[in-house]
Amino acid sequence: MPTLRIALAQVNSTVGDIRGNAASVRRWSREAADAGAHLVAFPEMMLTGYPIEDLVFRNSFVEASRSALRALAADLAADGLGELAVVVGYVDADGPPAISADAVPGSGRRDASALLHRGEVVATYYKHHLPNYGVFDENRYFEPGDTLTVVRLGTADVALTVCEDIWQAGGPFTAARRAGVGLVVNINASPYELNKDDVRLALVQRRAVEAGAAVAFVNMIGGQDELVFDGDSMIVSASGELLARTGQFAEALLVHDLDLPEATDTPPAAEHGDGMRISRVVTAGDLAALTDRREGGIADRVSDEEEIWSALVLGLHDYVNKNGFRSVVFGLSGGIDSAVVAAIAVDALGPERVVGVSLPSGFSSDHSKDDAADLAKRTGLDYRTEPIQAMVDGFLANMSLSGLAVENLQARVRGVILMALSNQEGHLVLTTGNKSELAVGYSTLYGDSVGGFNPLKDVPKTMVWQLARWRNTRPGTPPIPENSITKAPSAELRPDQKDSDSLPDYEILDPIIKGYVDQDLGRDQLVAAGNDPALVDRTLRMIDLAEYKRRQSAPGTKISGKAFGRDRRLPITNLFREGQAV
């Protein structure tokens, strides 16, 4: 029974940084080789980053990926790593894209995996199952593969698969059983959402049993626009036993020894509905003898609050750094939302790269100004005060405005100041609205919605409070003043204003939003769940009418099953209303 020492490189790639991503593969491959690994696997589309979206239609981009793959194989050998088998994801093509007038059925762009060994690309595999739901549009971009690639390393047979192949029954994993492999390597770019780690474990276990083989599941980490990837790489035995698992939201190399069945040359069984051919590749040389035993270990799981906080911190960190911003700026009001954004920003970037600006008007309370100053002292961020009342008065001296127009004017003056500081000093402006406010349109367009990134875009208001309380329990000075957590939320745009003047209590509102937005429940289902019919009608109308605002909102980290943005796409012009007569 051969023993294969496998390394899973849970690493952070950047879309379009092909040279930097290749350098990362070389660096982590060196670490894997130093650990005595026979094989190291990197995430899906490691060379190009993921998702590449419409970059896939550029011939220049595809050729850059393919050229980099060949160069990487040679570079690994030049680094003295030629005996290490390296599995890496990239984009390939065997024809024009499917949207092209020159498209040829059965060929096109490919989401691919390659095995590099002794300076050569010795095997390739094309992703079979292409997701086309939620944040994924892979039927738009790629053509599915129809062949399972099986590579013999020493006397062990290893099958190559990619991401969605493990999320659907049949296809590659059924073919892997037919091929009699000992291990299936599955490389992933699986985005984070709350509690997805629980779903993944059960899924990998099912596929291991389906294939009758051990499964090595490696996932990327890092932020890419709205998406954040959490890692959670793992190895499961053929019987479904969890053998090794990484933590989340950090780069890691998981090294583990697997005892695999001896490969045979028995022809595969007849096809059993998996619809796949089997291609076999034999690598040269034997596996290096091992003198010790490596166990990867199983990392502890963390609380929901820590999971979400880690996702928000990593999402902001990578958005700022990968896009070349040196710092961030935002309005620091003393309220709960801006306080939580401040704490996330300081954790992500350090206080020296965070600017919080108090923008008091004539309606700003003393306690809000005090709470903002207190948070700045607790966190050490760069704190400034820019009163807005004189600027508002200048507008009002030249325009006849009243009521809501005056409230929105204050928000827009604040937005102008923040954007001016951004232009003057090079900061990225963060907006601080939460998912509940975005859902019902409780924000001022070009005012408090101004910003290039929104850390709380997918965080309901009730969860904002929950995160604040959790963060204050961590070691060190609690960053968020208790008064910011306990006081009633208010926009403070008119005397004695409270959110509850315009909105239901968030404890009632958030479940309705979740049902309608995240779960696509209709009016009758929401009422049947125990919600007041009049409140449901009012809430759904607010959500529907705010679509045009959300279409203009800044990107923000996705943490739920359905965030506003790429995985919820509704027409702005839409006269259908829940509960109306048809």
Which positions are catalytic? 44, 127, 163
> Number of helices (H) and strands (E), helices first, in the chain?
18, 19
63 Cβ contact list (under 8 Å, min separation 6)? none
Distance of CA 455 to CAs 451, 506, 547, Å?
11, 19, 19
Cα Rg of the chain, angstroms: 26
Burial code (b: 16+ CB inside 10 Å, e: under 16) for 205-231 equals bbbbbbbbbbbbbbbbbbbbbbbbbbb
Task: Sort 407 into a burial class: Cβ within 10 Å, 0-12 / 13-18 / 19+.
Answer: buried
Show the beta-strand stretches assigned E in 179-301: 183-188, 214-219, 221-224, 227-230, 234-236, 242-245, 252-259, 277-282
Task: Please compute, for residue 60, the number of CA atoms within 13 A of its CA located in the half-sphere on the CB side.
Answer: 1
Please state, as a whole number, how many other Cβ atoms lie within 10 Å of the Cβ of residue 111.
31
The DSSP result for 290-344, as a single string, is PSS-----BPPP--HHHHHHHHHHHHHHHHHHHTT---EEEE--SSHHHHHHHHH
Task: Sort 402 into a burial class: Cβ within 10 Å, 0-12 / 13-18 / 19+.
Answer: exposed
Cα–Cα distance measured from residue 423 to residue 114, given in angstroms and rounded to the nearest whole number: 44
Question: Which residue has 């070389």 as its token pair?
Answer: 26
Distance of CA 402 to CAs 395, 409, 447, 497, 506, Å?
12, 10, 17, 16, 28
570 Cβ contact list (under 8 Å, min separation 6)? 547
**Cβ(61)–Cβ(47) below 8 Å:** no
Please state, as a whole number, how many other Cβ atoms lie within 10 Å of the Cβ of residue 81.
22
**Cβ(60)–Cβ(52) below 8 Å:** no
Q: Using the 8-state DSSP alphabet, how is residue 248 labeled?
A: B
User: Any long-range contacts for 288-293 (C-beta under 8 Å, 24+ apart)?
Assistant: 288/36, 288/38, 288/83, 290/3, 290/5, 290/36, 290/257, 292/36, 293/257
**Cβ(15)–Cβ(48) below 8 Å:** yes
526 Cβ contact list (under 8 Å, min separation 6)? 512, 515, 516, 536, 540
Q: What is residue 527's three-state secondary structure? A: helix
CA 336-339-342 angle, to 5 degrees, is 155
Take residue 337 and report the two structure tokens written for it: 């939302």
**Cβ(435)–Cβ(456) below 8 Å:** yes
